[in-house]
Homo-oligomer: A and B are copies of this chain.
Amino acid sequence: MALTLTILGSNSALPTSDRYPTAQILRVSERFFLIDCGEGTQMQLRRNKVNFSKINHIFLSHLHGDHVFGLIGLISTFGLLGRRKALTIHAHEDLKCLLQPHLDYFCADLPYQIHFNDLRYDEPAIIYEDKKVTVESFPLSHRVPTCGFLFKEKAKEPNIRKEAILKYQLTVPEIVAIKDGHPFIGEDGNVVPEENLITPAPAPLSYAFCSDTRYSRRIIPVIQGVSLLYHEATFLHELKDLAKRTGHTTAKQAAVIARDADVGQLILGHFSSRYKDVSLFENEAKEVFLNTALVSDNTVIEL
């Protein structure tokens, strides 16, 4: 089962003519999750042919404008498109009070419900769960309360080998028990090796989104072993003091996090517009963590 990440916007606070502010759409186990919603997100969703009706959850890392200014437009467009399904927005509790007057004024008679789920900023928390996926928030370190998000597929059951069903004339309860890890005794009284009975399930995939944040080692146990990590890298390491002061990270620091959390792959974004040549970010990160790539708008990553 695939995990697909589409970068809708990858710029830092100042939009440029070729990069939108932060927004991403994550498809995991057929769920579509929107992460942050900078200005222009709805245009980018259309450009990337994302079905608007599939988005039922929006996760907002923090309430800085470059991560949220596209929200009211998207909510409005959902309504104009005749949406009926409820939309849940996971965000800082201040969002409700900020958004409600605009909903009342610009989106009166919205044909669907909006639910607000207030995030916590003291410790990690499961904020969404269904049969196939969990979403966990965890505190980051920025100038305002900020959460990162960890999206994890749940462990899947192994598959029974067809030939085993035939050979051992397996009943349904026996299949369930084998999938559950119980040993199966053959007619000769011996345990049948597991590999003769099942093909193991693919390892569950996971994605962690970490932006905006200064370098914060306390996220490492939370994101340990994640398949794909997006970490902001606003500055190069020469500006690490500025990064710390402004609540951001350098490319090198992001790579250290990736290395020490033993992630599968690191992707970087949110580059300061002062840098014309963003390849410098990749070079700096790769000295620490080789499997690093830069993202730009409309980048699609499939696991």
Contact = CB atoms under 8 A, between A and B. Distances in A.
Interface of A: 13-17, 20, 39-40, 42-43, 46-47, 63-66, 69-70, 72-73, 76-77, 80-81, 94, 97-98, 101-102, 105-107
A101 B20 CA distance: 24
A191 to B, nearest CB: 58
Given A39-B39, A63-B105, A97-B101, 14 more contacts: A15-B46, A15-B73, A17-B46, A17-B47, A20-B43, A39-B43, A39-B70, A39-B73, A40-B40, A63-B106, A65-B72, A65-B107, A69-B72, A98-B101
Given A15-B46, A94-B105, A65 B69 contact: no
A98 B101 CA distance: 7
**Number of identical protomers:** 2
A62 B43 CA distance: 22
A73 B16 CA distance: 13
Given A39-B40, A39-B70, A106 B15 contact: no
B46 A81 contact: no
A16 B72 contact: no
Contacts of A80: 13-14
